[in-house]
Amino acid sequence: MHKGLLLVVSAPSAGGKGTILGELFKQNSNLCLSISATTRFPRQGEENGKQYFFVSREEFQELVDNGKMLEYAEYVGNCYGTPRAPVESWRAKGKDVVLEIDVQGGAQIKQLVPDCVSVFIVPPSFAVLEERLRKRGTEDEETIQKRMDTARQELEHAKYYDYLVINDRLEEAVADMQAILRSEKRKYSRNYDFAERM
C-alpha cells in the first residue's frame, strides 16, 4: 500500500486557502486534517480537538521535549505546533494528511519531512487580494495595508514550496490540488518499492 502524502498548504491571508481546502475535503474522502496544538486560550465557539488542541505551556514543552512535535513555533507569545503521532499513523495507513501552516512553518516542515508536498496558494494578483480584503468589510484601511504588506513578505517564501496554485477560479484551483495529490503518488521516488519488486 502507498504511504499517504503529507500535503503542506500555506497562503497569505485572504488567499482563499480555507475555501479551496473545504472543497478539497468534500471531494476527497482519503484526506485527514492535522490539528495543531496551541498554548493560547480557546476563543468563543472553539472546541478542544476541533480548531486546535488546547494545552498548557508545561504540556506543550513536554510534547516538544519528548519529540512529539513535528514542528513548532512561538507567535505573539503563544506556542503552536503540529503533533507528530496522528500525521504519522494516518500516513502509515495510506491516508493523505493536510497541514495548514504559516509560511515560516512551511519551510521548516520541508526540512523535517523531505517527502512532504508543499503548496503555496496565491491570489491572481495583489490587486485582487486587496479587493478581497476590502470586500470582507471587517478591517479598517490601516489593517488592510498591514495585511497587504504581510502578504508581500509572505510571497517571498513561495520559492521554498513545490507548487504554486493560483486562486483565480475556485474549481480550477481545487482541480489543481487534486492533480497534485494524484500525480505525486506516481512519482518514481514514491514507487521505488514497486519497481524493485518487479
Q: Which residues bind its own copies (CB under 8 A)?
A: 120, 122, 125-126, 155, 158-159, 161-166, 175-176, 178-180, 182-184, 186-188, 191-192, 194-195, 198
Could you tell me the smallest distance in angstroms from the CB atom of residue 152 to its own copies?
A: 8
Q: Which is nearer to its own copies, 9 or 55 (CB)?
A: 9
Q: Which is nearer to its own copies, 76 or 127 (CB)?
A: 127
Q: Which is nearer to its own copies, 68 or 157 (CB)?
A: 157
Could you tell me the smallest distance in angstroms from the CB atom of residue 186 to its own copies?
A: 5
Q: Which is nearer to its own copies, 76 or 198 (CB)?
A: 198
Q: Which is nearer to its own copies, 8 or 79 (CB)?
A: 8
Could you tell me the smallest distance in angstroms from the CB atom of residue 53 to its own copies?
A: 31
Could you tell me the smallest distance in angstroms from the CB atom of residue 39 to its own copies?
A: 33
Answer yes or no: are the C-beta atoms of 173 and 167 closer than 8 Å.
yes
User: Which residue, 154, 167, 54, is CA-closest to 104?
Assistant: 154
Cell numbers 488542541 label which residue?
53
DSSP H/E element including 32:
strand 31-33
The three-state DSSP-derived secondary structure of 87-154 is HHHHHHCCCEEEEECCHHHHHHHHHHCCCCEEEEEECCCHHHHHHHHHHHCCCCHHHHHHHHHHHHHH
* CB contact set of 197 (below 8 Å; sequence gap of 6+): none
User: Which residue, 126, 127, 129, 107, is CA-closest to 118?
Assistant: 107
Q: Which is nearer to its own copies, 69 or 184 (CB)?
A: 184
Could you tell me the smallest distance in angstroms from the CB atom of residue 36 to its own copies?
A: 25
Answer yes or no: are the C-beta atoms of 121 and 165 closer than 8 Å.
yes
Could you tell me the smallest distance in angstroms from the CB atom of residue 40 to its own copies?
A: 31
